[in-house]
Amino acid sequence: MSTFDALCANDDQLTPMRADIRRFLIEDRERFGWLPAVDGWLGAWDPQFSVRLAAAGFVGLTIPQHYGGRGLSHLHRYVVTEELLIAGAPVAAHWFADRQVAPALLAYGSEEQRRRLLPEIAAGHCYLAIGMSEDVAGSDLAAAQCRATAVDGGWQINGTKSWTSGAHHAHELVVLARTSVPDAEARHAGFSQFLIPRQTPGITVRPILQMSGEHHFNEVAFEDVYVPDNAILGQVGQGWHQVTAELSFERSGPERFLSAAPLILAIIRAISRHAADAGTTAEVGHLLAKVISLRQLSFAVATTLARGADAALRAALVKDLGTRFEQQSVELAAALAETVESMGEPTDDIARMLTIARLHAPMFTLRGGTNEVLRGVFARGMGLR
Ligand SMILES: Cc1cc2nc3c(=O)[nH]c(=O)nc-3n(C[C@H](O)[C@H](O)[C@H](O)COP(=O)(O)OP(=O)(O)OC[C@H]3O[C@@H](n4cnc5c(N)ncnc54)[C@H](O)[C@@H]3O)c2cc1C
């Protein structure tokens, strides 16, 4: 039994699912030859992989069967997500649709929206992007200025969203817009969510390249974009509540501490083929101890959420601790990579992943709400005024 298996010992009922996804990943990689990716959920876009993963039953796990999914629990999805991240699988294409939009549709979507989108999401070929942040509204999302004005039979959208992941591939965008005038006394009131096909006239998607040159983000401009009433997701005026209600799932998942796992595991595997000195052994032990602790914390939050209980504060804690660990682990990995080289092991694969890890690491603590802001949320939740 590996260390990772041992730390998963508290979820026996999920063991068959873990075995199934591991087998799928080994066979799929052997056959199609994808390379393990660091931060693959953000950058490794492979539509064919997503379709194969879905055909094998590993996308849409929590979507009910009558909408094309498997009708399983969030804990089943947690285990599959862990294994995908550890393997560095190219999951970016279906990631946001499966992780964020499917639960939102199940919680707030109309029957028409669910029937239209959920089977496509579960089939792994529906790409959806989240349009919340704006230039003037990141941490302070309530400052968002994108507005939707009621017109005959629908709404007219105007404004510009920033940092919209995957919008250039997306079939539809989930957009947060103001549907009533701002009220300084109630800053979170008057927002609504819309599901808008990307090809709708008036939408312009412009790339924002990362410093690595990768195209992941976009700026999305809406100029007099008309959408019918049935484009509203959930209730008019309830956008804020809807957006924040789903955040715990987003913040506490294994992607908050396993983004660099393929790199760390490649290093540990290489080192374990040799007799390591005491310092190296201590560093590896330190890394593993942190991963294991974070995993237990994250899994405890997932268990709470699966019961339908609130875990918003603990989710913020997982995100803060987990993403800080991810960043630190990249520099620890860089030091250990030198040890691997000195042992005469091949380092091409490690060097490839380390380069991406270093370029992506600054984003770990920003996405999903910055850590500084989450610490404030946590402190206030513990009673600080
Ligand atoms: C990889 C990645 C993917 C993303 N994908 C999407 C997406 O698909 N859709 C989307 O809508 N958005 C997306 N975002 C945007 C993300 O949600 C924002 O970057 C985030 O909310 C922070 O907003 P900001 O970048 O405007 O920074 P700011 O809010 O301007 O913050 C700048 C700095 O000031 C600090 N700060 C701000 N307010 C406070 C405060 N009150 N107390 C203490 N410190 C504070 C922050 O912690 C941060 O360090 C993505 C971001 C990243 C990095």
Domains of the chain: 3-126 (1.10.540.10), 130-237 (2.40.110.10), 246-381 (1.20.140.10)
Most informative mutation of 366, 372, 380, 384 for ligand 1 (most atoms within 8 A of CB): 366
Whole-number percent of the chain with pLDDT over 90: 83
Expressed in angstroms and rounded, the spacing between residue 311 Cα and the centre of ligand 1 is 22
Q: What is the pLDDT of residues 339-356, one digit of tens each?
A: 999 999 989 999 999 999
Q: Answer whether residue 17 shows pLDDT above 90.
A: yes
Minimal-distance CA residue to ligand 1 atom 48:
370
Instruction: Identify the residue with better confidence: 248 or 64.
Output: 64
Residues annotated as catalytic (active site), given as ranges? 250
pLDDT given at position 228: 98
pTM (2 d.p.): 0.94
Residues with CB under 6 Å of ligand 1 are 42, 129-133, 138-139, 163-165, 363, 366-367, 369-370, 372-373, 376
pLDDT given at position 150: 97
Q: What is the pLDDT of residues 89-126, one digit of tens each?
A: 999 999 999 999 999 999 999 999 999 999 999 999 99
Whole-number percent of the chain with pLDDT over 70: 97
The whole-angstrom separation of Cα 54 and Cα 62 is 13
Minimal-distance CA residue to ligand 1 atom 35:
372
pLDDT given at position 276: 87
DSSP calls for 291-320? HHHHHHHHHHHHHHHHTT---HHHHHHHHH
Residues 254-260, mean pLDDT to the nearest whole number? 95
Q: Which atom of ligand 1 sits closest to the CA of residue 167?
A: 8
The whole-angstrom separation of Cα 236 and Cα 179 is 7
Minimal-distance CA residue to ligand 1 atom 5:
165
Q: Answer whether residue 9 shows pLDDT above 50.
A: no
Mean pLDDT of the chain: 93
Q: Answer whether residue 305 shows pLDDT above 80.
A: yes
The whole-angstrom separation of Cα 29 and Cα 349 is 15
Minimal-distance CA residue to ligand 1 atom 37:
139
Minimal-distance CA residue to ligand 1 atom 42:
373
Say whether 216 sits in a helix, a strand or coil.
strand
| Paired residues of 156 in beta bridges | 149, 226
DSSP calls for 97-131? IIIIIHHHHHHH--HHHHHHHHHHHHTT---EEEE
Most informative mutation of 367, 371, 374, 377 for ligand 1 (most atoms within 8 A of CB): 367
Pairing of the two strands 172-178 and 128-131: parallel
Supply angle C-alpha 76, 360, 300, rounded to 5: 30
Most informative mutation of 160, 373, 377, 378 for ligand 1 (most atoms within 8 A of CB): 373
